[in-house]
Amino acid sequence: MNKWLRKSFFVMISFLTFGLVTPSQFVNVNAEKPLDHEAFETLAPETSYNQPSVYNNHSDFDKDKHLEGLINEAELQSYQKFGTKIKPVIENEFREVILPNIETAINQTSAQFPEEDLRNLFITEQPGGGRSEKIFHIKNSLSGKDVLRFHVRRDNPPQDGYWFNFHYHTYLDEFQTHHELGSIYWAKNTPPKWMT
C-alpha cells in the first residue's frame, strides 16, 4: 500500500509541477532504500499512472498532457529498471540518445489513434527485473491488449564487451519486428541484473 501511495503522490506532483520535479530527482531520493523488486514484480498488478476513468467527459481530456504523462512515466519506468547499479553509468546517454527516440515512437504511434482511443492508453507499472527485457508496455485499458512493448536486450558481440540494445515492438506487425531505439555500451565485464 505504501508503494502505491508513493507512486500516486509522485504522479500527482508531476502533473502539478509539469517538469519542475524530474523523475530522476524522485528516483535518487529513494535510491538508498533498495527494495526486493523481483519479489514485488510477481505480486504487483499491472496498473497505470493514469487510469482513463479520470476523464469523465470529453472536455477534460488533453491529448498533449496525456502524451507528456506517458513519456514522463516511460522515463521513470526506465530508471526503475536500471536500478542503482546500472542507472548512474548509463543515465546521461540514455537521456540524450534513447529517451528522445522513445518519445518519437510514442508520438508516432499515438498519432494513429483517434482521441477517444488515445485516452485509453496507459503504461504498465512494473518493469521486468533480473534478465528480463521488458522496460514497460503501453496497453489499451479497454481491450487489455498491448500497443507498444519497450525492451532492452543485453548484447555481447565477440571481443566487444556488453551493450544494452534498446528497441520496441508494435501491435501493427504483431510484435515481430525489432524497431531500434539505440544502443549504449556498458563495459567488458558482465552487467548486473536489472533492478539491482
Residue 98, CA distances (Å) to 55, 80, 179 in order: 31, 15, 12
Residue 2, CA distances (Å) to 5, 6, 7, 9, 34 in order: 5, 6, 9, 10, 15
pTM over 0.85: no
b/e sequence 87-99, b meaning 16+ C-beta within 10 Å? bebbbeebeeebb
Q: What is the pLDDT of residue 2?
A: 52
| Boundaries of every domain in the chain | 2-187
Q: Please calculate the CA angle 139-169-92 and round it to the nearest 5 degrees.
A: 95
DSSP state at residue 94? I
Cell of 82: 536500471
Residue 133 has pLDDT above 70, yes or no: yes
| 82-129 residue pLDDT tens | 999 999 999 999 999 999 999 999 999 989 888 888 999 999 888 999
